Amino acid sequence: MLERFTDKVVFVTGAASGIGHATCIRLAEEGANIVCSDVNNVEGIVAKVKELGRDAIGFTCDVSDEEAVVATVKSAMEHFDKLDVLCNVAGIMRSDHTHELAFKDWKKILAVNVDGTFLMTRECLPHLLKRKGSNVVNISSTAALGSHPWMAAYAASKGGILSFTRSIAVEYVKQGLRANAICPGGIATPFHAQFKMPKGGDMDLLKGAMPFMKYAGPEHVASTIAFVASDDARYMTGAEIRVDGGALS
């Protein structure tokens, strides 16, 4: 196993399950100390990181709640006093016929996925900018790049994350900060299991979003995050990287 994150501190949102959980484990295996944050209980992942011999601290935090984000980042920095990498993994998804999508549901998806990514990044940036080689890794989706029916709100939110990532990549490049986005698709996680085709949906419309391989586990996305967040990817910023089994090829 590589040791690209020895003595570094990484903040991971969405850490309780799926890609966030796998990312915490992968980066801890490579030497990182982890701030684990999720709207759900994070005691399990904190314990696993500590079993790997790394320091970890956990917070229950709704990333769409500004006060909660401010307090969480403040407490995390009081514990570690530094931050090298932020991984914005937390997100939610739902599927609806767009003409039946309630405005409150539209706003909720954008609040968690876009507002949450912004709030976490805004609060972490002052700490990241103090560290050489610091970077932000955001989780977008192939929904931002391809045609995913019944997911207008989710696709819009993930497209917003892509644009946000490119913007901060340019804004902070001369200060030494990198920012990149990972675009997963067809990953076997509890998050992916949330998808249910709405009543009357046509399966043929999903063909363009389906991977050519068997669905991969979240560890395959975590390994990509580990590369992008490491110094091995020091020449990458403002990029989007697909991990989708060739679905959009």
Q: Taking every pair of C-alpha atoms in the chain, what is the biggest distance, in angstroms?
A: 53
Q: Please name the amino acid found at residue 208.
A: G
For 238, the 3-state DSSP assignment is coil
For 107, the 3-state DSSP assignment is helix
Q: Would you say how long the chain is, in residues?
A: 249
Q: Are 147 and 190 in contact (CB under 8 A)?
A: no
Query: Is 215 annotated as catalytic?
Result: no
Q: Are 202 and 173 in contact (CB under 8 A)?
A: no
Q: Are 157 and 110 in contact (CB under 8 A)?
A: yes
* Residues in Cβ contact with 157 at an 8 Å cutoff, skipping those fewer than 6 apart: 91, 109, 110, 112, 113, 114
Selecting among 154, 172, 215, 235, the annotated active-site residue is: 154
* Whole-number Å distance between alpha carbons of 184 and 243: 5
The closest of 175, 12, 173, 182 to 86, measured between CA atoms, is 12
Show the DSSP H helices in the chain as ranges: 18-29, 43-51, 66-80, 103-110, 116-128, 152-171, 218-229
The closest of 137, 191, 181, 190 to 160, measured between CA atoms, is 181
The catalytic site residues sit at 154
